[in-house]
């Protein structure tokens, strides 16, 4: 078995001492990189031996797919080539070589409730016979809107296909209403491929584009401000210029390890955003794991907008954004439906019948109170 020779990624770094923690002390000791290289090679050979069919498919895929994968980040998973999946059910999947896995990734929460939940599969199988996308509302969309109202206590809802888009549309609405150019995000947040969010700080705290940010449309310093989560002083300074349309925040940061809010932080965030006329968008895409109404319902948050995607339709592309009565009225007041260029908030397939059927079935039968009771009990020890 020959390992691929032109695999584009290799072990980075020289023999610089790397810090590690021992008995609560930070120690430095040079890593034995030669030994590491040997171990990695052994693992790669074993990986190759156990995944011959995946390797074969990868070779074929490289002739038609850039990098041999549908999305470039898939090549960055561990192993010298990607595993090709065959099928998935519940918490398990199998690959094309017949290896079976417990899936701790679960589609990065897209399959949070397990792969192919029965109720969702049944609903989409039925809906698919009756039409997939029409650019017209289906009655079930009202059921979904009413259910979202009940869970998140926000009166109005709109649909998108991805959480990225839900965030982008909420940001557009916030900018449209306030007329303000900037948004504020937390350092190393992730809200999907929303251009404005790829901003960080250098060691002196000066904002800069995230290193290796691929092809930013515009320097994110022109569109965004960035501060550390939990820093109330920095929040007030950033908002006090009154040029920030919205703060886009996960209620708990989940994409840079997990950073919980300090006690009182959410109160301060709400108070200061109100004080300076900035909208607060809470992105529940991952924190929906907290409960049926996400972190927002379980901790009594009061966002102006709430966004959510990924697990909402059991893995079928679907996302939502909801907002308050005040937002709805302010937006309507600033809108002339006949004259507006509404193309920037949209998506031809958004709210399609298949997504709506999947959302309804998932909310009704999968992401239920009982599911959360069971799932949370399993995580508590
Ligand atoms: C908090 C959060 N919001 C939004 C997104 C974007 O989701 P999508 O890639 O489905 O647009 C992600 C993706 O990981 C996320 O973690």
Q: How far apart are CA 350 and CA 161, in angstroms?
A: 5
pLDDT digits (tens, 9 = 90+) for 126-151: 999 999 999 999 999 999 999 999 99
| Domain 118-379 class, CATH top level | alpha beta
168 lines ligand 1 (CB under 6 A): no
Query: Which atom of ligand 1 lies closest to the CA of 166?
Result: 11
Query: Which atom of ligand 1 lies closest to the CA of 192?
Result: 6
Q: Which residue has the higher pLDDT, 80 or 88?
A: 88
Gap from CA of 329 to ligand 1 centroid (Å) = 28
Predicted confidence band of residue 18 (pLDDT cuts 50, 70, 90): low
- Phi, psi (degrees; rounded to nearest 5) at 298: -75, -20
Closest by CA to 160, choosing from 305, 45, 299, 292, is 305
Closest by CA to 166, choosing from 291, 278, 310, 280, is 310
pLDDT at 6 exceeding the cut of 60: no
What mean pLDDT comes out for the span 221-228? 98
117 lines ligand 1 (CB under 6 A): no
DSSP 90: B
Domain 17-104 in CATH 3.40.50.410? The answer is no
User: Residues of the chain with pLDDT > 70: what percent?
Assistant: 93
- Phi, psi (degrees; rounded to nearest 5) at 273: -65, -40
Query: Which atom of ligand 1 lies closest to the CA of 108?
Result: 14
Give the pLDDT score at 176: 96
284 lines ligand 1 (CB under 6 A): no
Decide the pairing of beta strands 17-22 and 25-30: antiparallel
252 lines ligand 1 (CB under 6 A): no
DSSP alpha helix (H) spans, the chain: 33-50, 52-61, 118-128, 140-152, 163-178, 220-223, 232-240, 265-275, 294-298, 325-333, 353-361, 369-379
**SS3 category, 207:** strand
Give the pLDDT score at 9: 38
What is the gyration radius of the CA atoms in the chain, in angstroms?
23
């Amino acid at each position: 078995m020959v390992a691929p020779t032109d695999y584009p990624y290799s072990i980075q770094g020289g023999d610089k001492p790397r810090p590690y923690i021992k008995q609560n002390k930070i120690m430095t000791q040079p890593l034995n990189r030669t030994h590491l290289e040997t171990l990695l090679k052994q693992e790669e050979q074993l990986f190759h031996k156990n995944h011959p069919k995946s390797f074969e498919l990868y070779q074929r895929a490289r002739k038609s797919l850039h990098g041999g994968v549908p999305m470039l980040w898939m090549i960055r998973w561990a192993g010298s080539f990607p595993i090709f999946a065959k099928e998935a059910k519940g918490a398990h999947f199998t690959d094309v070589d017949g290896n079976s896995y417990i899936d701790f990734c679960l589609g990065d929460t897209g399959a949070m409730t397990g792969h192919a939940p029965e109720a969702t599969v049944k609903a989409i199988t039925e809906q698919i016979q009756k039409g997939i996308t029409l650019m017209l509302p289906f009655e079930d969309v009202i059921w979904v809107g009413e259910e979202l109202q009940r869970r998140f206590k926000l009166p109005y809802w709109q649909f998108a296909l991805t959480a990225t888009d839900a965030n982008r549309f909420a940001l557009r609405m916030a900018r449209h209403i306030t007329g303000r150019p900037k948004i504020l995000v937390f350092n190393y947040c992730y809200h999907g491929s929303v251009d404005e969010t790829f901003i960080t700080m250098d060691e002196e705290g000066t904002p800069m584009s995230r290193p290796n940010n691929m092809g930013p449309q515009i320097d994110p310093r022109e569109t965004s401000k960035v501060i550390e989560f939990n820093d109330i002083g920095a929040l007030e300074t950033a908002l006090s210029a009154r040029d920030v349309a919205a703060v886009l925040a996960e209620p708990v940061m989940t994409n840079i390890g997990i950073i919980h809010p300090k006690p009182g932080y959410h109160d301060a965030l709400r108070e200061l955003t109100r004080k300076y006329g900035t909208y607060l968008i809470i992105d529940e895409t991952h924190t929906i794991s907290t409960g049926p109404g996400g972190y927002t319902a379980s901790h009594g948050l009061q966002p102006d907008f709430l966004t959510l995607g990924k697990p909402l339709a059991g893995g079928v592309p679907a996302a939502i954004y909801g907002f308050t009565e005040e937002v709805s009225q302010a937006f309507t007041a600033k809108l002339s439906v006949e004259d507006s260029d509404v193309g920037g908030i949209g998506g031809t397939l958004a709210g399609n019948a298949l997504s709506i059927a999947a959302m309804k079935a998932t909310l009704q039968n999968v992401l239920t109170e009982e599911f959360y009771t069971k799932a949370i009990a399993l995580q508590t020890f």
